[in-house]
Amino acid sequence: MSDKSTGIEHGLTNYGDRDFSLYLRRSFARSMGYSNAMLKKPVVGIAYTPSGFNNCHRHFPELLDAVKRGVLAAGALPMEFPTISLGEVFLNPTSLKFRNLMSMDTEEMIRAQPMDAVVLMGGCDKTVPAQIMGAVSAGRPAVMLVGGPMMTGRHRGERLGACTDCRRFWAQYRAGKIDDKEINEIEGKLATTAGTCAVMGTASTMACLVEALGMILPGTAAIPAVHADRLRAAEATGALAVKLIGSKLTPDVIINRKSIENAFRVLLAIGGSTNAVIHLAAIAGRAGVPVSLARLNELSDSTPVLVNLKPVGNGYMEDLFAAGGMGALMREIKDLLHLDAMTVTGETLGERLAADAGGFVDRSIIAERKSPLEPQGGLVALFGNLAPQGAILKRSAADAKLFEFEGKAVVFTSLEDLAARIDDPNLDVTANDFLVLQNAGPHSASAMPEAGYLPIPKKLASKGVKDMVRVSDARMSGTAFGTVVLHVTPDSASGGPLGLVRNGDRIKLSVRERRIDLMVDEAELKRRADTVKPAAATPSRGYARLYAQEILGADQGCDFAFLKPR
């Protein structure tokens, strides 16, 4: 019984007598009906995240059976363990606030419990980055299994899926083009199967990125949740976890500068979610890899958008799977990738891509390099006096007519202020104004919700206005679209210049110059800064207090300072 013990002998509970500890553990394990032979096997832990509050994971019991089958057939003992789960639409104020809590839960339970390798089962938006962050910090052999996307549904002959269509129909309802009866009918058709949102939203983006990072089996990111291939992927993932036992290929080794850069390339080529910039920065940060938004711009300028999925294109995730999946996409940009990056299978990314070459590719979904959807990447980082440490714009989902634009600020000082006034018929606003939302960043009490997609004021929406420049320190759902400047850093609540914008100020956006500037002179900004009221008091207890004390800015992935490697 040394620290090199494996299986359930690993990491004994400390009673001051190691033999007693093992005797007691075996006795209690036997109470679960395991034979002695099973208890002598190495153990694969399975971080298991179903929840009554997570519709996206409702098929996890069936997937768990398949993972266990794979583990058992490969000769190890599978043991699932629960961690918290984050169902995107069931958390207040926003799921991002709890991503770090889930990563801590995952890290500590991997480390504290006797397992030789671990399968991470995640899917809904924040669960995948949380589990990867935790696994990188835990440093034990790990492989991820993502839950897979939902299938699409139909409404009056039209194909639809969560959640770009959720927003499209809601905008039509707000503009008076759809009545109460029809929006109620649509509500029942947007999300009809298990799995994650059906478009290239944050969950799908993160699934694609973990394949680019080399943390899941090749070809498994886009398999629909309810497809039999998803179960086969689960079984194979269980078997791979057994192969990983004793391996030095741990997540903190797989996640490195090269694999992170590969993930950014893929993020740009798929026109993926802005949220992924935050999650990749956090994952990279756990591995000690710095992420620079200036470098993101360099990558963006040389990476074409090739994947034709909503919200930037037309298709859904099930189409990406049928079109050839991530392998086909990565082969198309392989000259831009670090092909020597190692993956969880023990092969390099280049070897993996070569092994599956030559299959069918649907070019209506995965464009050829010579005819991209966009010649440059979907995301761009902006700097300037309004965002000294950066902001993000998803240019592939924005209106290019607004890229070089100057307008008057219409300021909302909080989410409550926004909700109270955005549809006020007397709001002084035109389509040429900039809607500005303050105090919705990571340091605010609202903890950076996906509120950056400010609604078009009803009085303008009803006249047919579909897009305006919107600026905030909040995030935006990966399923949303529009000329929306997000993640302005530093945020208002930590004293950033966004908090100094006042109604009527002029703001200038230049995507060409990668800038967003407040056209107010320095002296006036200093005068305003001197009159800013101190931020709200730190919460007195619990996780809210820890969050307030430790949260870092969007440029550092909104991780907690004390979770970064020392």
CB of 260 to ligand FES, least distance (A): 23
Which residue number, 47 or 56, has a Cβ lying nearer to ligand FES?
Answer: 56
CB of 51 to ligand FES, least distance (A): 11
d(CA 453, CA 467): 10
What one-character-per-residue DSSP string does 26-82 give? HHHHHTTT--HHHHTS-EEEEEE---TT-GGGTTHHHHHHHHHHHHHHTT-EEEEEE
CB of 197 to ligand FES, least distance (A): 3
Two structure tokens written together for 188: 């029942």
**Cα dihedral 304→308→314→319 (10° resolution):** -170
Q: Are 552 and 558 in contact (CB under 8 A)?
A: yes
d(CA 407, CA 405): 7
Q: Which helix (H) or strand (E) holds 552?
A: none
Which residue number, 15 or 53, has a Cβ lying nearer to ligand FES?
Answer: 53
Which residue number, 450 or 517, has a Cβ lying nearer to ligand FES?
Answer: 450
Triad 265, 240, 256: Cα angle to 5°: 35
Q: Which of residues 202-231 bind ligand FES (CB under 6 A)?
A: 203
Which x/- pattern over 120-139 shows residues binding ligand FES (rule: CB under 6 A)?
----xx--------------
Which x/- pattern over 18-57 shows residues binding ligand FES (rule: CB under 6 A)?
--------------------------------------x-
Q: Which of residues 67-96 bind ligand FES (CB under 6 A)?
A: 88-89
Q: Is 465 in the site for ligand FES (CB under 6 A)?
A: no
CB atoms within 10 A of CB 491: 27
Q: Are 525 and 415 in contact (CB under 8 A)?
A: no
Which residue number, 47 or 203, has a Cβ lying nearer to ligand FES?
Answer: 203
Which residue number, 297 or 479, has a Cβ lying nearer to ligand FES?
Answer: 479
CB of 204 to ligand FES, least distance (A): 8
CB of 329 to ligand FES, least distance (A): 20
Triad 217, 80, 129: Cα angle to 5°: 50
Which residue number, 197 or 282, has a Cβ lying nearer to ligand FES?
Answer: 197
CB of 195 to ligand FES, least distance (A): 8
Give phi and psi for 510, each to the nearest 5. Answer: -135, 105
CB of 399 to ligand FES, least distance (A): 25
Q: Which helix (H) or strand (E) holds 411?
A: strand 404-412
**Could you give the 3-state DSSP secondary structure of residue 558?**
coil
Beta strand 391-394 pairing with 379-382: antiparallel
Which x/- pattern over 158-197 shows residues binding ligand FES (rule: CB under 6 A)?
--------------------------------------xx
What one-character-per-residue DSSP string does 337-375 give? S-TT-B-TTSSBHHHHHHHTTT----TTTB--TTS-SBS
Which x/- pattern over 52-71 shows residues binding ligand FES (rule: CB under 6 A)?
----x---------------
Which residue number, 125 or 261, has a Cβ lying nearer to ligand FES?
Answer: 125
CB of 464 to ligand FES, least distance (A): 29
- Judged by the rule CB under 6 A, the positions of this chain that interact with ligand FES are 56, 88-89, 124-125, 196-197, 201, 203
